[in-house]
Amino acid sequence: MYLEICQKYAPEKDNLIYILHDIQDTHPQHYISEEAVQVVSEYLKVPPNHIFGVLTFYTMYSTKPRGKNIIRLCESPPCYIKGSENILRKLKTQLGVETGETTKDGLFTLELCACLGVCGNAPVMMVNNDVYGDLTEEKVEDILARIARGNQ
């Protein structure tokens, strides 16, 4: 499976990032496993330790299994000033997880991220590929409920 993804790209080092994204996006748990790294390493002739360095440098990659939906709350200063801390507290209590953890039902993973580029609507978070701005605690509750329903 991993090799098939690799083979969509030429075996050149420049393609490392694209291959890793592809592997992560097609994995039901949205992560890159040790086994995947071994396959990529052999395909691109890049040592596994180097790939691990790349994986941990970029926050968009995960080396641990994640939930079906990934929440990324912005922790940059504009969102912080507009109360992202309260939003984070709300997300944690609502989901019953700490930052970086996945809910028991496997529906949500909570992460922090750097600026999402929509500071005018701070505080902001992304769930999968959708951006949600002008967050309030009530809005968060709504969004989570809607996504949970959609996943039933």
Partner 1 sequence: MAKTVNIWIDGQALEVPDSMTIIEAADKHGIYIPRLCYHPDLPPTANCGVCVVEVAGNPAPKRACCTPVMEGMKITTNTKNLRSYRKTLVEMILSNHDVTCPTCAANNKCELQTLANNLNIDPDALPNILDKHPIDDSSLSIIRDVNKCIACGRCITVCNEVQTVYALTVTDRGIDSHVDTAFSRGMANSPCVNCGQCTVYCPTGALRERNDIDGVWEAILDPDKHVIVQEAPSIRVSLGEEFGMPFGSVTPKKMYAALRKIGFDSVMDTNFTADLTIIEEGTECVTKLKAGEKRPLITSCSPGWIKFMETYYPDLADCVSTAKSPMSMFGVLSKTYYAQEQKIDPAKIVSVAIMPCTAKKFEARRPEMRDSGFQDTDYVLTTRELIRMIKEAGVDFANIKEEEADEGMSFYTGAGTIFGATGGVMEAAIRSAYFLVTNTELPDLDIKAVRGLQGVKEATLNVPGFGDLRVAVAHGLSNARYVMDRVREGLATKGESPWHFIEIMACPGGCVGGGGQPYGNDIASRARRGLSLYEEDRSLPVRLSHHNPEVTRIYERFLGAPNSPLALQLLHTHYFKRSVNDGQITGEATHKHH
Give me the amino acid identity at 32: I
The answer to the question of residue 57 lying near partner 1 (CB under 8 A) is yes
E strand or H helix at 126, and its extent? strand 125-127
Q: Angle between the 137-150 and 84-95 helix axes, to the nearest 10 degrees?
A: 40
The answer to the question of residue 100 lying near partner 1 (CB under 8 A) is no
What does residue 89 show for φ and ψ, rounded to 5 degrees? -60, -40
Shortest CB 15 distance to partner 1, Å: 19
The answer to the question of residue 38 lying near partner 1 (CB under 8 A) is yes
Can you tell me the distance from the alpha carbon of 59 to that of 138, in angstroms, rounded to the nearest whole number? 28
The answer to the question of residue 37 lying near partner 1 (CB under 8 A) is yes
The answer to the question of residue 77 lying near partner 1 (CB under 8 A) is no
**Complex with partner 1: residue 101 or 137, whichever CB lies closer:** 101
Applying CB under 8 A, which of residues 9, 15, 29, 52 lies at the interface with partner 1? 52
Residues in touch with partner 1 (CB under 8 A): 34, 37-38, 41, 47-53, 56-57, 59, 63
